[in-house]
C-alpha cells in the first residue's frame, strides 16, 4: 500500500479511538468530573483529530474540530464553566464531530453549512466567556488546513519558495550568538553550515572578544561570525536559517545594495547601529543596519523584527512582544531558562505497553490453534487406539500437551477480547438522541463496562443494542407527564449492564417504565393474525410475542424505533452471534431484555454424543445433567409425546435421532441416554441420544458460509479422527418442539 494511504488508514483508526476517549471524557464531565486531566484528555483528543485531519486536507473536519477545540480550551483554562447547558452543547458537538469524521472517512458529501447552528452555539460559548479577546489570537476562520506534501524521491531541499528577489547580490550577515543559544541545544556551526548551503558563502570568525584562557567561561559565548553569502534566494530564506535563534543572538542581514558602492572585500559596517553595547568591541563588532522597514530599537535589543512576508504559521514569537526581552551581555552566562511548572505526577504512571497487530494475523493464529486442538484430539485418539499403557510417558506427556493447548487457546482468544466499554459509550449518544426525539428525560446507567467479549461480538452487537435502547426509551419508558402522575421519578432510567455468568456474557437493557402491557401485546398479535384469538398463553409467552416477525407495538411507526426493523431482527442478529435474548417484565416496574452471548465464536466446550450412528456435539453450557432413564421414569402423554419425570417435574423428551431425520422414532427409550438441557428462557427438555462419547473442546466451523443454515444445527466441527460432526443448537431443537406442540395445541383447539 502507498505509505501515505497507510497512514491515512492509521489516522482513521486512531480517530475512532480519540472519539471514544473524547466521548468518555465528555460523559465524565457531564457527570460532574471536574478533574483537569479529564478536560485535558478531551481537548487533546479533539486537538489530535484536528491535527491529523489537517494533514489529510479534511477541511470540514478541521474547521469544526478547531472551533470545538477552542471551546474546550476555554473550559480547560477555566474561562468557561462546564454547566449543564455548556455540556449539552459539548456533547452534541462530540456527536457532530463523530458524524463529520465518519463522513470524511467514507468520503460522503458534507453539506455546506452542516453544523452551522452548532458552530454558532460553540462560538457563542467562546465569545460568552470572559476571554473574548482569545479570538484575536485564535480566530477560528484563520485556521487554514494545509495538506502534507512528501517529496519522497527528491532529495533536493527546494521547498518551492518563490524566489522573489532573484538576484546574485550578496548578503552580509553578522551573527553573534548569545550563551542562551547554546543552552537551548542550538549550535552556531550548524546554522552557518545551513547558511553556506544556500549559495557561495565566505565566513569569517571574529575572535577579538575571546578572553584569555584563564578567564574563559566555557558557558558564555564570545565569538562573532561574519558571512558574505552570494545566493539567489530571497532574504526571507536567509532569515529562516536563523528562525529558531532570533532571540538568542544578535543578527543583521543586509543586502549588498548600499554596501556595493563601498569596497567589496571589507564590508564596511556602520558603527551607528550598535547591537550589543556591552559586549562588542567598537572596531569589529558593530553592524550595518540597512533594513529600512525594521525598527532600529528592536534591532538593538537583539530582536530583529519579523519580516512581514513570513507565513502566518511560521510567525516567530517576536511578533507579539518584541520589547520584553532585555539585552543579554555575552560576557555573563545567564542562568538556565526558567522552566514552567510541568506536571510530573504522571511520570510514575508509566505508559502501557501495547502492540498493534493486524486482525488477520490474530485470526490466522486462532485458526492455527484450532488446528492444534484438533490435532491434539487426533493424537489422543491414536494413543487410545494403540492401547498404550495409561501411565506411560507418552500418555502423561499428552495430558500436559492437552493442558498447554487449552491454555494457548484461552490466551489466543483473549487477544480478540475487547471490553464492551466502547459499545456502551455509543449507547449514551443513542439515549441522548432518543430522549430528545421523544421529549422524555432519561438517564442512562451503565455497569460492567470492563466486561470483555470477542471483538466480532462487540462490533455486531452495536445495531441490535441500539435498537433495544431506542425501544427502551421510546416504548419502555412512559412520558414524563405520565411518570409524574405515578410516584416515579419523572426522569426515566435505562440501565445497561454487562457481566460474565457461567461462561457466557450477559448484557441487559432494563428500563423502569410501565412494563409490557400484555393485554395490548396479545391483542396486537391477534389483530395481526400472528396467533389465533383463543390461544391461551403464559405471561412469558406473551412477552416473547414481541420477537415475532411482523410485530410492532407502536401505534404508528415512529421515526425513532420503528426503522423498519423489529425485535425479530434483533433476535436474529443475536442468534447469529450464538446468543439468546429473553424478556422479563413487571407491570409498573419496567422490562428487562437480557442477551446472553458466548465468550468466543471460535471454540466451545462440547459433549460428543452418538445418535443413530452419527456423532454430534452438544454445547456443554446447555446441559444441566445427564442420566440413564429407568423405564418407570418415562411417561407417554399423548401419542408420541413422551415425557420424563426428573426430580418431580415432567420434562418433554426429544428423540434427537428422529428430530434430525436420522431414523424413525424410537419405540423405547430404554437404551438411550438422556441429556437434560435448559434453554435461555428457562425451558427444560430431555434430549435422548444413544451414548456419550467424550467431553472436549471443539473448534467451531460455521455452516452458513459453506453450506447454509440448518434448523437445529449451530455449526460443525472436525473430530480427532478427521470426521465432521454437527454441533446441535439445543435451543432451536427445543424451540421447534414447542412450536410443534403449539401447532398441535392449535389443531386440538381448532378441532375441539
Partner 1 sequence: MTLSILAVDDSRTMRDMIRLALTSEGFEVFLAEDGVDGLKMLDDLTPDVIITDINMPNLDGFGFIDGVRKDLNDRTTPILVLTTESAAELKQRARNSGASGWIVKPFEQTKLVAAIRRVAA
Site for partner 1 in 20-79 (CB under 8 A): 37, 40-41, 43-44, 47-48, 50-52, 54-55
Decide if residue 750 touches partner 1 (CB under 8 A): no
Alpha helices by DSSP H, listed for 32-130, are: 36-55, 59-76, 84-106, 116-128
Cβ 52 to partner 1, closest distance in Å? Answer: 4
* Nearest partner of 501 among 621, 602, 582, judged by Cα: 621
Sole window of 238-246, 425-433, 442-450, 631-639 interacting with partner 1 (rule: CB under 8 A): 238-246
Tell me how far CA of residue 587 lies from CA of 515, 517, 541, 555, 724, in angstroms: 5, 7, 15, 20, 48
Which C-beta is closer to partner 1: that of 310 or that of 568? 310
- Select the residue interacting with partner 1 from 38, 88, 186, 418 (CB under 8 A): 186
Give residues 564-623 in contact with partner 1 (rule: CB under 8 A).
none
Nearest Cα neighbor of 395 from 404, 382, 412, 407 is 382
Surface-to-core class of residue 107, CB atoms within 10 Å of its CB (0-12 exposed, 13-18 middle, 19+ buried): exposed
Does residue 3 touch partner 1 according to CB under 8 A? yes
Least Å from the CB of residue 46 to partner 1: 10
Q: Candidates 340, 529, 661, 682: give the one binding partner 1 (CB under 8 A).
A: 340
Smallest distance, partner 1 to C-beta of residue 350, A: 6
Considering only residues 435-474, where is the footprint of partner 1 by CB under 8 A?
A: none
Whole-number minimum distance, CB 683 to partner 1, in Å? 50
Minimum Å distance from CB 140 to partner 1? 14
- Beta strands 673-678 and 623-627 are antiparallel
Under the binding rule (CB under 8 A), the answer on residue 388 touching partner 1 is no
Contact region with partner 1 (CB under 8 A), list: 118-126, 187-195, 369-377, 505-513 = 187-195
Strand 442-447, strand 492-501: pairing: parallel
CA 188 to each of CA 208, 229, 241, 313: distance values in angstroms, whole numbers, following the listed order: 17, 16, 11, 25
* 175 is a contact residue toward partner 1 (CB under 8 A): no
CB of 139 to partner 1, least distance (A): 11
Site string for partner 1, 347-366 (x = CB under 8 A): x-xxx----x----------
Q: Is 220 in the site for partner 1 (CB under 8 A)?
A: no
- Residue 446 CB, nearest distance to partner 1 (Å)? 24
What is the β-pairing status of strands 634-638 and 641-646?
A: antiparallel
Instruction: Give, for 454, the enclosing helix (H) or strand (E).
Output: strand 452-454
Pick 136 or 559: Cβ nearer partner 1:
136
DSSP for 592-628, please give it: EEEEEEES-SSEEEEEEEEETTEEEEEEGGGEEEEE-
Site for partner 1 in 85-114 (CB under 8 A): none
Among 336, 355, 393, 751, binds partner 1 (CB under 8 A): 336
CB nearer to partner 1: give 54 or 606.
54
Inter-CA distances, 663 with 430, 608, 612, Å: 51, 19, 7
Q: How many residues bind partner 1 (CB under 8 A)?
A: 75
- Establish if 243 lies at the interface with partner 1 (CB under 8 A): yes
Q: Would you say 3 or 113 has its CB closer to partner 1?
A: 3
Alpha carbons 529 and 547: distance in angstroms, whole number: 15
Q: How far is the CB of 14 from partner 1 (least distance, A)?
A: 5
Kindly tell me which residue out of 317, 557, 576, 744 binds partner 1, with binding defined by CB under 8 A.
317
CB of 178 to partner 1, least distance (A): 12
CB of 71 to partner 1, least distance (A): 16
Interacting residues of 519 by C-beta distance below 8 A, sequence separation 6+:
none
Q: Which is nearer to partner 1, 245 or 737 (CB)?
A: 245
Interface positions, 150-169, toward partner 1 (CB under 8 A): 150-152, 155, 157-159
CB nearer to partner 1: give 117 or 243: 243
Residue 748 as a binder of partner 1 (CB under 8 A): the answer is no
Nearer to partner 1, 192 or 516 (CB): 192
Q: C-beta of 429: minimal distance to partner 1 in Å?
A: 24
Q: Which of 113, 337, 564, 708 binds partner 1 (CB under 8 A)?
A: 337
Supply the minimum distance, in Å, between the C-beta of residue 206 and partner 1: 22
113-142 binders of partner 1 (CB under 8 A): 137-138
Query: Which residues, at least 6 apart from 434, have a Cβ–Cβ distance to it below 8 Å?
Result: 442, 469, 470, 473, 474, 560
3-state secondary structure of 44: helix
Q: How far apart are CA 384 and CA 354, in angstroms?
A: 43
Buried b (16+ CB within 10 A) or exposed e, 254-266: bbbeebeeeeeee
Per CB under 8 A, 667 contacts partner 1: no
Q: Measure the CA–CA gap between 574 and 63, rounded to whole angstroms.
A: 39
Grid coordinates representing 661 are 431425520
Listed in sequence order, the residues at least 6 apart from 111 whose beta carbon sits closer than 8 Å to its beta carbon are none
Q: What is the DSSP letter of 571?
A: H
Residue from 25, 140, 145, 657 in contact with partner 1 (CB under 8 A): 145
Query: Coil, strand, or helix at residue 700?
Result: coil
Q: What are phi and psi of 56, to 5 degrees?
A: -105, 10
Rounded CA-CA distance 688/653 in Å is 7
Asked if residue 149 binds partner 1 (CB under 8 A), the reply is yes
Nearer to partner 1, 241 or 494 (CB): 241
Q: Hey, which residues between 628 and 657 contact partner 1 (CB under 8 A)?
A: none
Amino acid at each position: 500500500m502507498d505509505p501515505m494511504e497507510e497512514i491515512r488508514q492509521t489516522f482513521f483508526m486512531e480517530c475512532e479511538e480519540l472519539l471514544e476517549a473524547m466521548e468518555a471524557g465528555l460523559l465524565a464531565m457531564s457527570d460532574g468530573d471536574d478533574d483537569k486531566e479529564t478536560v485535558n484528555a478531551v481537548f487533546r483528543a479533539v486537538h489530535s483529530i484536528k491535527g491529523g485531519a489537517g494533514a489529510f486536507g479534511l477541511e470540514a473536519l478541521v474547521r469544526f474540530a478547531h472551533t470545538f477545540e477552542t471551546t474546550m480550551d476555554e473550559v480547560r483554562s477555566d474561562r468557561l464553566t462546564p454547566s449543564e447547558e455548556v455540556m449539552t452543547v459539548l456533547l452534541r458537538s462530540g456527536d457532530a464531530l463523530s458524524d463529520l469524521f465518519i463522513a470524511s472517512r467514507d468520503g460522503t458529501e458534507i453539506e455546506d453549512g452542516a453544523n452551522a447552528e452548532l458552530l454558532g452555539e460553540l462560538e457563542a460559548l467562546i465569545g460568552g466567556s470572559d476571554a473574548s479577546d482569545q479570538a484575536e489570537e485564535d480566530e477560528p476562520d484563520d485556521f487554514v488546513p494545509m495538506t502534507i506534501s512528501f517529496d519522497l524521491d527528491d532529495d533536493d531541499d527546494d521547498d518551492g519558495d518563490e524566489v522573489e528577489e532573484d538576484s546574485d547580490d550578496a548578503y552580509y550577515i553578522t551573527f553573534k550568538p548569545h550563551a542562551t543559544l547554546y543552552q537551548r541545544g542550538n549550535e552556531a556551526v550548524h546554522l552557518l553550515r545551513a547558511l553556506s548551503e544556500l549559495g557561495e558563502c565566505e565566513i569569517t570568525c571574529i575572535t577579538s572578544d575571546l578572553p584569555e584562557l584563564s578567564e574563559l567561561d566555557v558557558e558564555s559565548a564570545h565569538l562573532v561570525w561574519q558571512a558574505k553569502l552570494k545566493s539567489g534566494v530571497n532574504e526571507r530564506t536567509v532569515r529562516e536559517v536563523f528562525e529558531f535563534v532570533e532571540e538568542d543572538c544578535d543578527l543583521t542581514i543586509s543586502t549588498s545594495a548600499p554596501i556595493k558602492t563601498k569596497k567589496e572585500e571589507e564590508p564596511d559596517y556602520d558603527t551607528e547601529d550598535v547591537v550589543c553595547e556591552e559586549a562588542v568591541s567598537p572596531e569589529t563588532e558593530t553592524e550595518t543596519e540597512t533594513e529600512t522597514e525594521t525598527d532600529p530599537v528592536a534591532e538593538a535589543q537583539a530582536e530583529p523584527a519579523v519580516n512581514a512576508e513570513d507565513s502566518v504559521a511560521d510567525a516567530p514569537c517576536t511578533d507579539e512582544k518584541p520589547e520584553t526581552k532585555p539585552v543579554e551581555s555575552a560576557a555573563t552566562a545567564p542562568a538556565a531558562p526558567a522552566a514552567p511548572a510541568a506536571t510530573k505526577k504522571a511520570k510514575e504512571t508509566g505508559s502501557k505497553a501495547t502492540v498493534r497487530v493486524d486482525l488477520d494475523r490474530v485470526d490466522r493464529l486462532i485458526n492455527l490453534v484450532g488446528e492444534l486442538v484438533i490435532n491434539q484430539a487426533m493424537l489422543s485418539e491414536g494413543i487410545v487406539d494403540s492401547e498404550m499403557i495409561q501411565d506411560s510417558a507418552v500418555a502423561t506427556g499428552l495430558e500436559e500437551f492437552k493442558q498447554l493447548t487449552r491454555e494457548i487457546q484461552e490466551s489466543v482468544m483473549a487477544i480478540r477480547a475487547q471490553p464492551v466499554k466502547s459499545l456502551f459509550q455509543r449507547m449514551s449518544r443513542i439515549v441522548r438522541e432518543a430522549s430528545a426525539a421523544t421529549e422524555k428525560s432519561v438517564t442512562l446507567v451503565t455497569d460492567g463496562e470492563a466486561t470483555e467479549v470477542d471483538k466480532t461480538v462487540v462490533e455486531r452487537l452495536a445495531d441490535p443494542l441500539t435498537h433495544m435502547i431506542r425501544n427502551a426509551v421510546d416504548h419502555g419508558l412512559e412520558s414524563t407527564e405520565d411518570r409524574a402522575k405515578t410516584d416515579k421519578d419523572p426522569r426515566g432510567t435505562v440501565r445497561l449492564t454487562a457481566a460474565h455468568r457461567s461462561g457466557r456474557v450477559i448484557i441487559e437493557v432494563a428500563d423502569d417504565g410501565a412494563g409490557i402491557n400484555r393485554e395490548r401485546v396479545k391483542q396486537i398479535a391477534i389483530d395481526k393474525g400472528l396467533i389465533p384469538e383463543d390461544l391461551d398463553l403464559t405471561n412469558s409467552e406473551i412477552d416473547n410475542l414481541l420477537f415475532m416477525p411482523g410485530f410492532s407495538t407502536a401505534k404508528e411507526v415512529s421515526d425513532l424505533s420503528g426503522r423498519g426493523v423489529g425485535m425479530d431482527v434483533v433476535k436474529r442478529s443475536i442468534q447469529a452471534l450464538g446468543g439468546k435474548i429473553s424478556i422479563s417484565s413487571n407491570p409498573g416496574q419496567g422490562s428487562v431484555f437480557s442477551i446472553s452471548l458466548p465468550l468466543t465464536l471460535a471454540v466451545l466446550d462440547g459433549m460428543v454424543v452418538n445418535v443413530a450412528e452419527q456423532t454430534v456435539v452438544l454445547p456443554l453450557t446447555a446441559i444441566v445433567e445427564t442420566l440413564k432413564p429407568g423405564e418407570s421414569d418415562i411417561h407417554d402423554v399423548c401419542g408420541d409425546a413422551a415425557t420424563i419425570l426428573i426430580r418431580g417435574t415432567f420434562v418433554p423428551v426429544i428423540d434427537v435421532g428422529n428430530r434430525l431425520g436420522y431414523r424413525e422414532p424410537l419405540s423405547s427409550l430404554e437404551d438411550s441416554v438422556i441429556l437434560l438441557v435448559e434453554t435461555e428462557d428457562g425451558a427444560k427438555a430431555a434430549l435422548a441420544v444413544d451414548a456419550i462419547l467424550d467431553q472436549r473442546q471443539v473448534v467451531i466451523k460455521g455452516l452458513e458460509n459453506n453450506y447454509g443454515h440448518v434448523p437445529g444445527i449451530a455449526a460443525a466441527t472436525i473430530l480427532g479422527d478427521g470426521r465432521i460432526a454437527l454441533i446441535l443448537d439445543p435451543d432451536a431443537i427445543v424451540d421447534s418442539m414447542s412450536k410443534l406442540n403449539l401447532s398441535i395445541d392449535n389443531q386440538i383447539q381448532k378441532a375441539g
